[in-house]
């Protein structure tokens, strides 16, 4: 009986871990947004990154793949809704279009709401233009996958640099401790006590740095799980 309970518990944790590692990192929802005092169909998606980071990536993506310059973001500009006007994107339609995105702060990151129109009051949606609306989702998936892979890779690189810096500090402190120990053997009791106090301080710094390293390594593991969950939806 005890063995059966143990097996069930192990199975539960294995399944829970599998669910966690296979969880999607981002989810695209069909929604509506108020624009020019009317509700417009849109797609929404949440990211861990800040709004400024997402806006820059959005501009970079459309400039790179569609030669579209997104307006409303820059050194002196940070509009609520960023736009691309009178553009063509063959993956959606051969008609001239406008593209809009509202990227706002939410708990833990940002939310992007993305919508498009063929001109005044002709907004693309699942009912009026279902094929074009599906094309919009494909592009949002393309952006999300590329952006998140780059974003999390940069996060891991930054965290790894911090870990290396902390490890360097620990190594430096250890050298100081060893040097103080050698010096203490040749010094008076008073000097030796002073060096011992310095060593205690260095060792406390090392413990704090090791704690930080442990937290940073945990963060890297969390990011790896999110990277595994970057799947189109």
The C-alpha atoms of residue 71 and residue 145 are separated, in whole angstroms, by: 23
- Radius of gyration of the CA atoms of the chain, in A: 27
Tracing tokens 């500090």 back to the chain, one arrives at 169
Residues 60 and 116 grouped into a single domain: yes
Give residue 193's domain range: 155-228
Residue 42 lies in a domain: yes
Task: Give yes or no: residues 190 and 92 share one domain.
Answer: no
Q: Is the pLDDT of residue 3 over 70?
A: no
Q: In total, how many domains does the chain have?
A: 2
pLDDT single digits (tens) 110-120: 999 999 999 87
Single out the residue in 151, 184, 215 at which a domain terminates: 151
Using the 3D structure, point to which of 151, 183, 200 is the last residue of a domain.
151
- If you average pLDDT over residues 38-45, what whole number do you get? 97
Tokens 């106090």 belong to residue: 197
* Whether residues 45 and 110 fall in one domain: yes
pLDDT tens per residue, range 76-87? 566 789 999 999
149-187 per-residue burial string, b: 16 or more CB within 10 A, e: under 16: eebbeebeeebeeebeebeebbeebeebbeebeeebeee
Q: What is the pLDDT of residues 130-166, one digit of tens each?
A: 999 999 999 999 999 999 999 999 999 999 999 999 9
Rounded-to-integer distance, Cα 162 and Cα 220, Å? 12
Looking at the chain, which runs of residues are DSSP E strands?
Answer: 29-35, 38-47, 71-73, 78-89, 93-106, 109-117
17-31, 43-57, 86-100, 172-186: the lowest-pLDDT one: 17-31
Q: Is residue 6 part of a domain?
A: no
> Does 115 lie in the same domain as 219?
no
Token readout for 3 is 């063995």
Q: Which of 151, 170, 187 is the last residue of a domain?
A: 151
CATH of residue 93: 3.30.310
Q: What is the mean pLDDT of the chain?
A: 90
Question: Within a domain: residue 214?
Answer: yes
3-state helix, strand, coil in the chain (%, to 5): 55, 25, 20
User: Is 36 in the same domain as 143?
Assistant: yes
CA nearest neighbour of 133 among 31, 2, 21: 31
Task: Give a yes or no: residue 220 inside a domain.
Answer: yes
Q: 133 and 32, same structural domain?
A: yes
DSSP 176: H
Would residue 173 count as lying in a domain? Answer: yes
CA distances from 29 to 7, 45, 46, 63 (A): 39, 6, 10, 24
* Beta pairing, strands 109-117 & 71-73: unpaired
Q: Report the pLDDT value the prediction gives residue 80, as an integer from 0 to 100.
A: 82
State residue 76's pLDDT score. Answer: 58
């Amino acid at each position: 009986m005890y063995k059966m309970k143990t097996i069930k518990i192990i199975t539960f944790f294995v399944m829970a871990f599998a669910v966690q590692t296979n969880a999607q990192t981002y989810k695209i929802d069909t929604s509506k947004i108020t624009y020019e005092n009317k509700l417009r169909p849109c797609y929404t998606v949440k990211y861990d990154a800040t709004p400024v980071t997402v806006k820059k990536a959005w501009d970079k993506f459309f400039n790179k793949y569609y030669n579209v310059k997104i307006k409303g973001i820059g050194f002196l500009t940070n509009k609520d809704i960023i736009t691309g006007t009178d553009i063509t994107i063959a993956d959606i339609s051969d008609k001239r279009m406008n593209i809009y995105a509202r990227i706002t702060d939410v708990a833990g990151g940002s939310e992007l709401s993305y919508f498009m129109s063929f001109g005044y009051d002709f907004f693309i949606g699942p009912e009026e233009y279902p094929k074009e609306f599906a094309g919009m989702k494909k592009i949002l998936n393309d952006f999300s996958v590329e952006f998140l892979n780059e974003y999390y890779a940069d996060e891991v690189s930054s965290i790894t640099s911090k870990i290396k810096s902390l490890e360097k500090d620990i190594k430096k402190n250890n050298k100081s401790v060893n040097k103080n120990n050698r010096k203490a053997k040749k010094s008076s009791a008073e000097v030796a006590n002073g060096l011992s106090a310095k060593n205690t301080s260095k060792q406390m710094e090392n413990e704090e740095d090791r704690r930080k390293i442990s937290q940073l390594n945990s963060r890297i593991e969390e990011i790896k799980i999110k990277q595994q969950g970057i799947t189109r939806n």
